[in-house]
Amino acid sequence: MTLAPLQSGRQARGRAFGKVILTGEHAVVHGHAALAAPLKSAWVDATVDTIDGDLLVETTQSSIETHGVAAVARAALNAFGREGKGLRVYIESNIPPRAGLGSSAATALATVRAVAAACSERLSEKQLLELADVGEQIAHGRASGVDTAASQADGVIHFLVGTPPVPVPLASPFWLIVGDSGIPRNTRQAVRAVTEQPESRRLEAFSQIDRATAQMEASLQSGQLSRAGQALDLAHCALEYLGLNTPPLERMRRAARNAGALGAKLTGAGLGGCIIALAASENEALRIQESLLETGAANTFVERLAP
Ligand code: PMV
C-alpha cells in the first residue's frame, strides 16, 4: 500500500508492547488468576495525524483489523469530546498477528495513546484500559483484559479480572523464549471450545492451572527457576487436557525441552499460536531459540525479565 506522506508537525505517536501469558490462560476468563508479562521486543507504533474528513486507518500489515482500530479511535475521540474530528491512524507492528502475543491489545493501546496525544489529552490508566478494551471485545469476544494489563506492565503481573494487576517481585532474572508456530489461533473459538467442555473436566483442568500459577508465582519470588519451569509443564498438561495443544506446538515444546529449557508450554488461546520456554541464562535461551528455529518456528522472541 502506498501512503501519502504524513503531515509533519501535526503528528502524534503512541507505542505499546506485546505480551505473554505465563500461566492461567482460559482459567482467567472464568475468574481464576493468571500470570503474564510484557514482551518488549514485540511492539506496535500508531501514528496519528489530523486530516479533513472522517477517520482513516492504514497499515502495512494486512492482518491488522482496521475496523477494530477505527472503533478504538472513535471511542477515544468520543471520550475526549472530539467526535467528528478527521484523523488518519497509521499502524506499524512487528508482532505476529493471531499468535497469542497480544497484537490486538497492543494495537488498541498504541492507538488510544496516539489519539490522546493528537487531542492533547492526558489519559488516566483507567481510561486507557477502558478505551483499549473496545478493540479487545471486537477481537476476542469475551476478553479477560489480561492482554492490555500485561502489555503495559513493567514486569510479571498477577492478574485477576476486575482487580488491579499486582506486580510479582522477582528474585532473579530469567529468560522467556517464544516460538510461534505460524499457525493462526482463534481466541474466540478456543474460548468457546473450553466453555463448552463438560464442567467437571473444565474444573479439573482449572484446578491444575491454579496449582501451576501458585507454584510459578512462588518460584519466581524465591528464585527457584527449575520449580518455575515445572509449573509451566504442569500448566501445559492442563491445557492439553482441555484439547488446546496441536502437533506443531508439541514439536516446538519438545525441541525446547530437549535444548535444555526448564519448562515449556503453549501460551495464549492455543489451537495454534505460540509456546513459551523458560531458561536461567542468556546462553541457554539462545540455544533454545536456535532449536525452535530448526524445528520450523515462524518467529521467535527472547525476553529477559529481571528484578
Ligand atoms: O488471545 P490470546 O491467544 O492471547 O489468549 C488470551 C487468553 C485467553 O485466556 C484465552 C482469553 C482471555 O481473554 O483471557
Distance from Cα 247 to the centre of ligand 1, integer Å: 20
Vertex 20: Cα angle to 206 and 248 (nearest 5): 80
> Is the pLDDT confidence value at 9 over 50?
no
Amino acid identity at 143: A
Amino acid 226: pLDDT: 98
- Contact partners, residue 228, CB within 8 Å, separation at least 6: 174, 215, 216, 219, 220, 262, 263, 278
Burial of 127 (0-12, 13-18, 19+ CB in 10 A): middle
Number of H helices, E strands in the chain: 9, 10
Radius of gyration of the chain (CA): 19
CB atoms within 10 A of CB 273: 29
Distance from Cα 289 to the centre of ligand 1, integer Å: 24
Query: CA end-to-end span of the chain, whole Å?
Result: 42
The residue to which cell 476478553 is assigned? 143
Helices (H), 223-273: 225-241, 247-258
- pTM, two decimals, is 0.90
Specify which residues 305 forms β-bridges with. Answer: 174
Amino acid 140: pLDDT: 65
Q: Is the dihedral of CA 18, 67, 46, 1 positive or negative?
A: positive
CB-based pocket (< 6 A), ligand 1? 21, 25-26, 28-29, 100, 140, 143-144, 146-147, 185, 187, 191, 268-269, 273
Q: 230-274, pLDDT tens digit by residue?
A: 999 999 999 999 999 999 999 999 999 999 999 999 999 999 999
What are the percentages of helix, strand and coil residues in the chain, rounded to 5? 45, 25, 35
Q: 87-135, pLDDT tens digit by residue?
A: 899 999 999 988 999 998 999 999 999 999 998 899 998 899 889 888 7
Amino acid 134: pLDDT: 81
Ligand 1 atom having least distance to the Cα of 27: 9
- Beta carbons of 41 and 81 less than 8 angstroms apart: no
Mean pLDDT of 40-68: 85
- Beta carbons of 256 and 289 less than 8 angstroms apart: no
Residue closest via CA to ligand 1's atom 10 equals 269
Residue 127's H or E segment, with its range, is helix 125-140
Active-site annotation, residues: 147
- Point out the least confidently predicted range of 11-25, 85-99, 208-222: 85-99
Q: 143-162, pLDDT tens digit by residue?
A: 788 998 999 899 999 999 99
